[in-house]
Amino acid sequence: MADLMPNPGTVAPLQTDAVIRVEKVCKAFYTPSRENLDALIDIELSIHGGEFITVVGPSGCGKSTLLRLIAGFSPCSSGRIMFQGEEVRGLNTKVGYVPQESKLFPWLTVEENVGFGLDSKQYSRADRERQVSQFVHLAGLAGFEKYYPAQLSGGMSKRASIVRALVYEPPVILMDEPFGPLDAQTRMVLQDELLKIWEKKRQTIIFVTHDLVEAVALADQVVVMTHRPGKIRDVLQVPMSRPRNIFEIHRQGGFDEAYGRLWNIFRHELSIGAH
Amino acid sequence: MSDPTIQAPSRPGRSKGAVRPTKHAVVSMGTMGVNLARVAIIGGFLLLWEIASGKWIEPFLVSSPSRIFLSLISGYRDGDLLQHTWVTFQEIAIGFPIGAISGIALGYAFGRSRLLAEIFEPIIIALNGIPRTALAPLFIVWLGIGLWSKVGVVFLLTFFLNFFNTYTGMRQMDQEYVDLAGLMGVKGWKLTFKVILPAISPYVFTGIRTSIPFAVIGAIVGEFVAATEGIGFFIRMSAGIFKTADVFVGIIVLMIMVIIIDRIAELIERRALRWQSQTEHIRIQA
């Protein structure tokens, strides 16, 4: 289950070795009443370079917690996470992170936000400007460089937040329900843009969502998690060709079949969660 | 005893920058009217004062606007008043920044270190419970009747306000900003100055702005207790010999001082917090 096979019918992964290997990871939190609350139990997962992974599960299943562990925001209770062969201890500066809310730095302009991760030691001023300008354009934010986040719409903040994580080109991007609070149309536009960017850059993306259509439409593989305490229920291949047309994803070959399989798995989780 | 803060334009809590521009735009039609009303009220009050003085009330009790104005002019003409103003200004100019900066620094340190906060928080709260102006005589004993005892009182009055506001800001701060910045490789002084301080700056400025009148109170209280010069000394001395007009002159000078310092702080604040302004809201149509 956890051992993933190369996807038939899609672009071959750039690397064959796993970029991320989650090994027997458990995470427990202390509740205010001092009891242990198991968020994740025995998570085993390996993720290969250049893949687009989506993670779905009922709310509260620990999807976000898993991302936070990979980012190194908090330590695993047991088990370990290997990133490019090294164990993650402390902040994992090789990943980009797109939080649920945009979380742009409100005191910085759009271009300052986008350029925030470009270290002044690694990038010359000119390089930095070029990179920022390229990604601002990529995000469709040209003309809004000098705007502050408070002056942007939800969709624009979201784009800025995404390119802020992409701009310094980390090998892995973690996205925590980035399109959750957006309206359906904006969501589709952004999904489409995200796929276009990804097809150009081919970073590894781990994308948490609760939307099954989104999960299938974007992914090479869908990781399905169980109701709390979160375990991995299944890993589903999505053998749809790329590039994909998000706006007519239902008509694309393989979608219905993949969605049907996902729904079959997921249905059980919902009924467990409903009691 | 007159409290200089009462006359000062009181602005407890910063009005959110976001509201400012739109509010102004809406009000702009009525700005003339507002100003007229203001002038009328103040003018009317001064006129009433002028008439009442000597007619219904003893002039030596309340003086009168014209007498105060003349005293103000003559006071500055013989340089006396200027010297007093300069002395008080120095006390504030030294004590206020030191108090504000150390308050902000300690608030920041408490926010960074849970251990530090846990050990010292009750102590700080206990110290804050002391009526600080009551310590002014002690400062005179420790630091003499010159400049430094007043600097001490000014420091004491500004320090706590800045400390508490900054510390509150630190506790309210969104951890995710720090995490995200850390993920992008930002740490050390850059994390402090590019992420944490900007994030808590609205709180820091509230501390600075609210502590300005208290800095002036500190200087005056210190001068009341023991001094040979300064506006506080000038007020006390003038009251002692029933020169009521000069008492009012002193109060006016303090008022102007608070207003000027506050205006400067407001300008800096507006620049620093311009990101909070929300002049327009752009919507994207999908």
Read off the pLDDT of residues B134-166 as tens digits, 9 standing for 90 and up: 899 999 999 998 999 999 999 999 999 999 999
Asked whether B79 and B138 are in contact (CB, 8 A), the reply is no
pLDDT of residue B115: 92
Which of B179, B191, B204, B283 should be substituted to probe chain A, the one whose Cβ sees the most A Cβ atoms within 10 Å? B179
**Closest-approach residue (CA) in chain A for B202:** A107
**% of chain A residues with pLDDT over 70:** 92
Please state whether the peptide bond connecting residue B59 to the residue before it is cis, i.e. omega within 30 degrees of 0.
no
Distance from CA of A91 to the nearest CA of B (A): 6
The encoded tokens of residue A249 equal: 């994803």
Which of B203-212, B228-237, B272-281 shows the lowest mean pLDDT across its residues?
B272-281
The encoded tokens of residue A30 equal: 């202390």
Question: Which of B184, B279, B286 has its CB closest to that of A117?
Answer: B184
pLDDT of residue B284: 65
What's the mean pLDDT when you consider all of chain B?
86
pLDDT of residue B21: 44
pLDDT score of A15 more than 50:
no
pLDDT score of A271 more than 70:
no
User: Using the beta-carbon criterion (under 8 Å), do A73 and B179 form an inter-chain contact?
Assistant: yes
Which domains occur in chain B, in start order? 12-276 (1.10.3720.10)
User: Using the beta-carbon criterion (under 8 Å), do A106 and B276 form an inter-chain contact?
Assistant: yes
Contact of A168 with chain B, judged by CB distance below 8 Å, is answered with: yes
ipTM of the complex: 0.83
Across chain A, where does the E strand assignment appear?
Answer: 18-30, 36-48, 52-56, 78-83, 86-87, 95-98, 172-176, 204-208, 221-225, 232-237
Reported as a single tens digit per residue, the pLDDT across B36-53 is 999 999 999 999 999 998
Contact of B198 with chain A, judged by CB distance below 8 Å, is answered with: yes
The encoded tokens of residue B44 equal: 């009317």
What is the SS3 assignment for A206?
strand
Nearest Cα to Cα of residue A115 among A125, A100, A103? A125
Most confident of A255-264, B62-71, B193-202: B193-202
pLDDT of residue B24: 47
The encoded tokens of residue B120 equal: 């010292």
pLDDT score of B221 more than 90:
yes
Contact of A134 with chain B, judged by CB distance below 8 Å, is answered with: no
Edge-to-edge, what's the strand order for the sheet holding A18-30? A36-48, A18-30, A78-83, A86-87
Which of A77-81, B151-155, B198-202, B204-208 shows the lowest mean pLDDT across its residues?
A77-81
Q: Give me the residues of A, 199-218, that contact B with CB < 8 A.
A: none
Place of tokens 């001064």: B46
User: Using the beta-carbon criterion (under 8 Å), do B179 and A148 form an inter-chain contact?
Assistant: no
Asked whether A66 and A55 are in contact (CB, 8 A), the reply is yes
**Closest-approach residue (CA) in chain B for A74:** B179
How many Cβ pairs closer than 8 A exist between chain A and B? 76
In Å, how far are A191, A200, A206, A213, A237 from A249, measured between CA atoms? 11, 20, 20, 9, 16
For every residue of B99-124, DSSP letters joined together read: HHHHHHHHHHHHHH-HHHHHHHHHHH
Distance from CA of B275 to the nearest CA of A (A): 5
Contact of B271 with chain A, judged by CB distance below 8 Å, is answered with: no
pLDDT band of A122, cuts 50, 70, 90: confident
Nearest Cα to Cα of residue B221 among B99, B103, B137? B137
Distance from CA of A20 to the nearest CA of B (A): 17
pLDDT score of B3 more than 50:
no
- Number of helices (H), then strands (E), belonging to chain A: the values are 7, 10
Question: B244-262 burial by CB neighbour count: b if 16+ within 10 A, else e?
Answer: bbbbbbbbbbbbebbeebb
Question: B21-39 burial by CB neighbour count: b if 16+ within 10 A, else e?
Answer: eeeeeeeeeeeeeeeeeee
Is this model's pTM higher than 0.95 or not? no
Give B-chain residues touching A149 at CB under 8 angstroms: 275
Q: Rg of chain A over CA atoms, in angstroms? A: 19
Nearest Cα to Cα of residue A65 among A194, A215, A182, A225? A225
Query: Which residues are bridge partners to A222 per DSSP?
Result: A54, A236
pLDDT band of B265, cuts 50, 70, 90: very high
pLDDT band of B13, cuts 50, 70, 90: very low
pLDDT of residue A62: 86
Asked whether B185 and A119 are in contact (CB, 8 A), the reply is yes
User: Using the beta-carbon criterion (under 8 Å), do B183 and A152 form an inter-chain contact?
Assistant: no
Strand pairing class (A95-98; A86-87): unpaired
What's the mean pLDDT when you consider all of chain A?
85
Which of A105, A121, A189, A191 should be substituted to probe chain B, the one whose Cβ sees the most B Cβ atoms within 10 Å? A105
**% of chain B residues with pLDDT over 70:** 86
d(CA A50, CA A16): 10
What is the SS3 assignment for A98?
strand
d(CA B286, CA B277): 26
Nearest Cα to Cα of residue A173 among A162, A181, A182, A160? A162
CA B180 to chain centre: 35
Reported as a single tens digit per residue, the pLDDT across B77-136 is 888 899 999 999 999 999 999 999 999 999 999 999 989 999 998 998 898 888 888 899
In Å, how far are A12, A199, A220, A225, B21 from A258, measured between CA atoms? 19, 21, 11, 16, 52
pLDDT score of B254 more than 60:
yes
pLDDT band of A1, cuts 50, 70, 90: very low
Across the range A23-31, mean pLDDT stands at: 86
